[in-house]
């Protein structure tokens, strides 16, 4: 079993990674709580509910799968259920699922009785390398993704790499988007590793998944430890996300998974960096060639830049109407730049 520490001044915690950790869930969840509430979705519940049985004193809340569940209404329902069941401040919430379950359950934990303990047990690749780590929790409101939320750290993250075998391929690819991102923003050697082992990563080869997930968690841990609330450095995690979120929004959060949108976003943001002369040609070619080979349709001609820009203008990270971009500028290095709508339309994505 691998262990990664998140060294925060307040509330430090560890991430445990390895195959088969679900078999030992009762021991890994340090349990001095009155009651555990497992929040999970229907898919994960039907596949993995048996692993919960050894836990003593637990109750389960099962939600429908999918982004639509990440809503204020669903959070309200969960909070009402907790109240009706007499859940005390000494209870604990366990998020058992992908990023939707993790963000929603974490948000409920952060506000129920001003905050109760919570543990993340992520089951998608995206949640294992990204969303379960770092304490961002929240729900969507109207068309605004993650517009309501809180920074709230889990007590522990438990990652069983074996559950990846039941994950649909699109969801694996979605996680791969965030994996590529870590290499480009922080660690060029890791980017090279991902390029070299992409076929094994695509089929979740158990020999390399623990290493890949551990490395991603280590990179995120280092970034979050330096900037927990995203005042500076943490923004680099948004590479690919400005255009990615625009694409998710313009297509009604239905055409692309989050990670697919991020992969396309990284492609076009690298293209923009090249057009702005921020990155050398060889390196931008390396990134763009690799993404072209991933096997995703990168054509976004259906979404004109002016409409995409309207979505990007909704981003929380923008300043005074200027859109925040994280651009790759050299191997393992990125930099924040701001562009106006007009500047973007002038440059275009073609």
Ligand X SMILES: NC(=O)c1ccc[n+]([C@@H]2O[C@H](COP(=O)([O-])OP(=O)(O)OC[C@H]3O[C@@H](n4cnc5c(N)ncnc54)[C@H](O)[C@@H]3O)[C@@H](O)[C@H]2O)c1
Binding of ligand X by 171 (CB under 6 A): yes
130 binds ligand X (CB under 6 A): yes
Is 317 one of the catalytic residues?
no
Selected binder of ligand X within 70, 156, 235, 274 (CB under 6 A): 70
Other C-beta atoms within 10 Å of 281: how many? 8
Look at residues 237, 236, 249 and name the one whose alpha carbon lies nearest to residue 315. Answer: 249
DSSP states of 40-98: EEHHHHHHHGGGGTT-SSEEEEEE-SSGGGSBHHHHHHHHHHHHHTT--TT-EEEEEES
45 binds ligand X (CB under 6 A): no
Q: What residues form DSSP beta bridges with 38?
A: 60, 94
From candidates 36, 174, 215, 242, binder to ligand X by CB under 6 A: 174
What are the distances in angstroms from CA 59 to CA 24, 204, 253? 18, 31, 31
Taking contact as CB under 6 A, which single stretch among the options 8-16, 95-103, 113-121, 200-208 is the one that binds ligand X? Answer: 95-103
Does the annotation mark 337 as catalytic? no
Dihedral (Cα; 57, 62, 65, 67), 10-degree rounding:
-90
The 246-285 contact track toward ligand X, x by CB under 6 A, reads: ------------x---------------------------
Q: State yes or no: residue 126 binds ligand X (CB under 6 A).
A: yes
Of 145, 220, 235, 274, which one is the catalytic site residue?
A: 220
Q: Which residues lie below 8 Å from residue 293, measured CB to CB, with a gap of 6+?
A: 198
85: annotated active-site residue? no
Token code pair at residue 345: 């339309």
Binding mask of the shown chain, residues 137 to 166, with x at each position contacting ligand X by CB under 6 A: ---------x----------------x--x
Residue 257: partners with Cβ closer than 8 Å, 6 or more residues away:
170, 171, 173, 174
* Residue of 18, 19, 97, 177 interacting with ligand X (CB under 6 A): 97
DSSP 294: T
Residue of 109, 110, 123, 215 interacting with ligand X (CB under 6 A): 123
Please report, as ranges, the residues that interact with ligand X according to CB under 6 A.
Answer: 41, 43-44, 47, 65-67, 70, 97-101, 103, 123-124, 126-127, 130-131, 134, 136, 146, 163, 166-167, 171, 174, 258
Residues forming the active site: 114, 136, 178, 220, 230, 234, 238, 241, 245, 258
């Amino acid at each position: 079993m691998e262990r990664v520490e998140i060294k925060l001044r307040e509330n430090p915690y560890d991430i445990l990674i390895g195959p088969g950790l679900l078999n030992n869930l009762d021991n890994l969840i340090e349990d001095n709580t009155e009651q555990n509430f497992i929040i999970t979705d229907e898919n994960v519940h039907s596949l993995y509910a048996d692993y919960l049985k050894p836990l003593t004193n637990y109750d389960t809340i099962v939600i429908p799968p999918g982004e639509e569940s990440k809503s204020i209404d669903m959070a309200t329902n969960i909070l009402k259920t907790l109240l009706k069941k007499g859940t005390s401040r000494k209870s604990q919430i366990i998020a058992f699922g992908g990023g939707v379950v993790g963000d929603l359950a974490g948000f409920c934990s952060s506000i129920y009785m001003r905050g109760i303990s919570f543990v993340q047990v992520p089951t998608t690749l995206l949640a294992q390398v990204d969303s379960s780590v770092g304490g961002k929790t929240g729900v969507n409101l109207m068309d605004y993704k993650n517009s309501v939320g809180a920074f709230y750290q889990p007590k522990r993250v438990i990652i069983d790499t074996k559950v990846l075998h039941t994950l649909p391929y699109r969801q694996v690819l979605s996680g791969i988007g965030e994996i590529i991102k870590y290499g480009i923003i922080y660690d060029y050697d890791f980017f090279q590793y991902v390029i070299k082992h992409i076929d094994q990563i695509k089929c979740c080869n158990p020999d390399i998944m623990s290493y890949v997930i551990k490395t991603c968690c280590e990179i995120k841990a280092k970034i979050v430890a330096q900037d927990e609330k995203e005042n500076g450095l943490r923004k680099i995690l948004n590479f690919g996300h400005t255009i990615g979120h625009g694409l998710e929004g313009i297509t009604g959060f239905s055409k692309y998974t989050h990670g697919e949108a991020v992969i396309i976003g990284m492609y076009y943001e690298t293209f923009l960096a090249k057009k702005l002369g921020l990155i050398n040609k060889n390196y931008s070619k390396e990134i763009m060639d690799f993404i072209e080979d991933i096997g995703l349709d990168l054509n976004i001609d259906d979404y004109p830049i002016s409409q995409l820009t309207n979505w990007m203008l909704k981003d929380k990270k923008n300043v005074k109407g200027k859109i925040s971009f994280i651009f790759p500028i050299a191997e393992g290095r990125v930099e924040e730049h701001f562009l106006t709508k007009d500047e973007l339309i002038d440059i275009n994505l073609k």
